[in-house]
């Protein structure tokens, strides 16, 4: 089972590329060529990073994207949340319905604690620490 999906993975690599280009505006074509990713998919990812505020987009000819903040301020959990939704260790369902005892289920509570531990590992991993 994968914890990080393709889009999150690509996003990490893209952000690292931006960081290495300093404040230069980089367009999606360049990224796609350098990182060898499928163009429309990468575009979608960049748009999401833009909407989320991690990238700043420059429209029109000669446009592209720039990092809008230091990678010190973005962590793995942020990206996972953006692309994969909130990390849930277990939803603890029964036949698609929430289990009736959910409120006071000790098992669920325990699993939630473990989940918090894992999320805190992901939160403490700044993207800047992944740079070359």
Partner DNA sequence: ACAAATGATACTAATCAGGTATCATTAATA
Partner DNA sequence: TATTAATGATACCTGATTAGTATCATTTGT
CA atoms within 13 A on the CB side of 56: 9
Binding partner selected for residue 101 from its own copies, ligand FES, DNA, none, CB under the kind-specific 5 to 8 Å limit: ligand FES
Q: What is the spatial distance between Cα 39 and Cα 60, in angstroms, rounded to a whole number?
A: 18
Element (H, E) at 66: strand 64-67
Q: What is the spatial distance between Cα 28 and Cα 46, in angstroms, rounded to a whole number?
A: 8
Q: Taking contact as CB under 7 A, which single stretch among the options 41-49, 69-77, 107-115, 122-130 is the one that binds DNA?
A: 41-49
Q: Taking contact as CB under 8 A, which single stretch among the options 21-29, 43-51, 52-60, 87-95 is the one that binds its own copies?
A: 87-95
Q: What is the spatial distance between Cα 47 and Cα 27, in angstroms, rounded to a whole number?
A: 12
Rg (CA), the chain: 18
Distance of CA 13 to the CA centre of its chain: 11
Residue 4 binds to ligand FES (criterion: CB under 6 A) = no
Residue 127 binds to DNA (criterion: CB under 7 A) = no
For residues 59-118, which are near ligand FES according to CB under 6 A?
A: 92, 99, 101-102, 105, 107-108
Positions touching its own copies (CB under 8 A) are 1-6, 8-9, 12-13, 16, 35-38, 76, 80, 84-95, 106-107, 110-111, 114-115, 117-118, 121-122, 125, 129-130, 132
């Amino acid at each position: 089972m994968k914890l990080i999906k393709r889009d999150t993975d690509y996003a990490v690599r893209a952000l690292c590329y931006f960081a290495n280009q300093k404040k230069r505006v980089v367009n999606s074509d360049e990224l796609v060529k350098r990182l060898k990713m499928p163009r429309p998919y990468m575009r979608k990812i960049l748009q999401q990073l833009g909407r989320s505020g991690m990238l700043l987009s420059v429209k029109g000819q000669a446009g592209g994207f720039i990092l809008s903040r230091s990678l010190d301020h973005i962590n793995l959990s942020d990206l996972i949340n953006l692309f994969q939704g909130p990390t849930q260790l277990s939803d603890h369902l029964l036949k698609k319905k929430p289990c009736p005892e959910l409120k006071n289920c000790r098992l669920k509570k325990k699993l939630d604690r473990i989940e918090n531990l894992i999320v805190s590992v992901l939160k403490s991993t700044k993207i800047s620490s992944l740079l070359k």
